A and B are shown apart, each in its own frame.
Chain A
Amino acid sequence: MNFPANLRYTKDHEWIVLNGDIATIGITDFAQSELGDIVYVDIANHQTLPAEAVFGTVEAVKTVSDLFLPVAGTIIEVNAALEKQPELVNTDPYGEGWMIKLKVDNPADVEKLMDAAAYEALVG
């Protein structure tokens, strides 16, 4: 199981990485492995939401799971590649399988989330 050190993590199994005030967000390797084959990612663009709000759903063959926003902000982009290839979330959860770009309200919020070691301890 892979937990890159440059990312921050939530207890709901999302990862987040910040570049200025724009964050990229997806689900972790652990989450995709637990879900199994992902067949649909349903996220609406341009939502402004508080931290821990449901921003979309990810569907595996047998299950539907909510996606929870790691920090408050506004979604400015949804990964269009997932429309045709939702399996990218399985094959490359931290790369091509990213889910959204978020303009974060307060970049300092990201630092308060778990680092890789803390997340690994949670799921290990």
Chain B
Amino acid sequence: MKNTPFTQFHIALGAKMAEFAGYNMPISYSGINDEHQTVRTNAGIFDVSHMGEFIIKGPQALPLIQQVTTNDASKLTKGKAQYSCLTNEQGGIVDDLIVYCLEENKAYMLVVNAANIEKDWNWIANFNKDFGAEMHNISDKTCLLAIQGPNATKILQPLAGADILNLPYYSFIKTTFAGIDNVLISATGYTGAGGIEIYFEDSNDAATTIWNAILQTGTPQGLKPIGLGARDTLRLEMGYCLYGNDIDDTTSPLEAGLGWITKFTKEFTAKSILHEQKQNGIQKKLVGFEMIDRGIPRHNYLIKNEAGETIGHVTSGTQSPSLNKGIGMGYVQIQHATLGNNIFIEIRNSLVKAQIVKMPFLS
């Protein structure tokens, strides 16, 4: 099991630790509900250094990225980022990722899921045989902290060498942070609560300096460390997909509700398959649902219709700490995937009533 540069701090703070994507990661500190509310109402810090980062450089960088991703990276200008997907030859999702434009037409950073670092690298490198861009996997030396919540930027502003209060969503700057140079501060996140994510290289104890500075500044203002447990409940309330649960190699971006990042105005892997899906319609669709009767949906529970026939399965589910009811996402056959439709989740051999609702669950 690998450690991040912050693992020792999590253990010292008494976090419940568990293996995630090969890393020893904090699952919770004060309790998932408390951590969840802290992020929704104030600010919390997440160590997500297990995520992967690739640098793609040179004149062939943009053509390569355009080939392997579904969103249109040619729209990006320096300091802007976009959510995107890597598609396989069948139109399934190799991974979801964020593309950062470091220098227009010259240098980009791709941020990928920890569990997929090797798979994504090999996938992109294989296409790169035809493109010849310069590729660097900087995952192991790159730290990533997410500081999320309505007060996150206000709390951190004194540590930053530039204005972070007015950083537009999916924009970023490189500046100093807590005295460390070359920190990439990005107005992104996986919580829907606002805040930033910061990327930096762990050299000269930068990880310790930055972690301590954030906790020293933030703790008196109520900032708390947050584990992966609350990260999951926070993202699910927003209807954000989790790779391996809600999207994978067998689900297409259109089925997953990611049509908005699938741009048919450019070429990319499996474009023709996805275009056909768009023209002819999809067979199944990822929907969000809320429990009407008492019960908590969980990954892989069956979704049935009133007659008890299986019409799909749950991909993510939890008790929503904000709404105090069971919420979930799952794929259902397209003819059942209508907003307002009642569906039934099979929980311990009982059919428990739920309703398909618009996402995000939290408005």
Which chain A residues have a beta carbon within 8 Å of chain B's beta carbons? 36-37, 39-40, 42, 57, 59-62, 64
Distance, CA A67 to CA B348, complexed state (A):
13
Distance, CA A57 to CA B298, complexed state (A):
14
Closest residue of chain B to A57, judged by CB?
Answer: B348
Which chain B residues have a beta carbon within 8 Å of chain A's beta carbons? 16, 27-28, 31-34, 229, 232-233, 294-296, 298, 318-319, 321, 348
**B32 and A36: CB pair below 8 A?**
yes
**B229 and A36: CB pair below 8 A?**
yes
Distance, CA A62 to CA B318, complexed state (A):
7
Distance, CA A26 to CA B280, complexed state (A):
55
Known: A36-B16, A40-B296. A62 touches B229 (CB 8 A): yes
Known: A36-B31, A36-B229, A37-B33. A61 touches B321 (CB 8 A): yes
Q: Is the interface of B mostly helix, strand, loop or mixed?
A: mixed
**The residue from B32, B296, B298 contacting A37, defined by CB atoms under 8 A apart:** B32
**B296 and A36: CB pair below 8 A?**
no
Residues of B contacting A59 in the complex (Cβ-Cβ under 8 angstroms):
296, 319
Known: A59-B319, A61-B229, A61-B319. A36 touches B294 (CB 8 A): no
**B298 and A64: CB pair below 8 A?**
yes
Distance, CA A42 to CA B291, complexed state (A):
15
Known: A59-B319, A61-B32, A62-B32. A42 touches B348 (CB 8 A): yes
**The residue from A40, A57, A61, A64 contacting B33, defined by CB atoms under 8 A apart:** A61
Distance, CA A39 to CA B232, complexed state (A):
16
Distance, CA A95 to CA B298, complexed state (A):
29
Residues of B contacting A64 in the complex (Cβ-Cβ under 8 angstroms):
296, 298
Known: A36-B32, A36-B229, A42-B348. A61 touches B318 (CB 8 A): yes
Known: A36-B28, A40-B319, A57-B348. A62 touches B232 (CB 8 A): yes
Closest residue of chain A to B31, judged by CB?
Answer: A37
Query: What are 23 A-to-B residue pairs whose CB atoms are below 8 Å?
Result: A36-B16, A36-B28, A36-B31, A36-B32, A37-B31, A37-B33, A37-B34, A39-B296, A39-B319, A40-B295, A40-B296, A57-B348, A59-B296, A59-B319, A61-B229, A61-B318, A61-B319, A62-B32, A62-B229, A62-B232, A62-B318, A64-B296, A64-B298
Residue of B32, B34, B319 with highest tally of chain A CB at under 10 A: B319
Closest residue of chain B to A87, judged by CB?
Answer: B33
Residue of A40, A42, A61 with highest tally of chain B CB at under 10 A: A61
Closest residue of chain A to B232, judged by CB?
Answer: A62
Distance, CA A59 to CA B34, complexed state (A):
17
Cβ of B328 to closest chain A Cβ, rounded Å: 13
Residues of B contacting A36 in the complex (Cβ-Cβ under 8 angstroms):
16, 28, 31-32, 229
Residue of A37, A40, A57, A60 with highest tally of chain B CB at under 10 A: A37
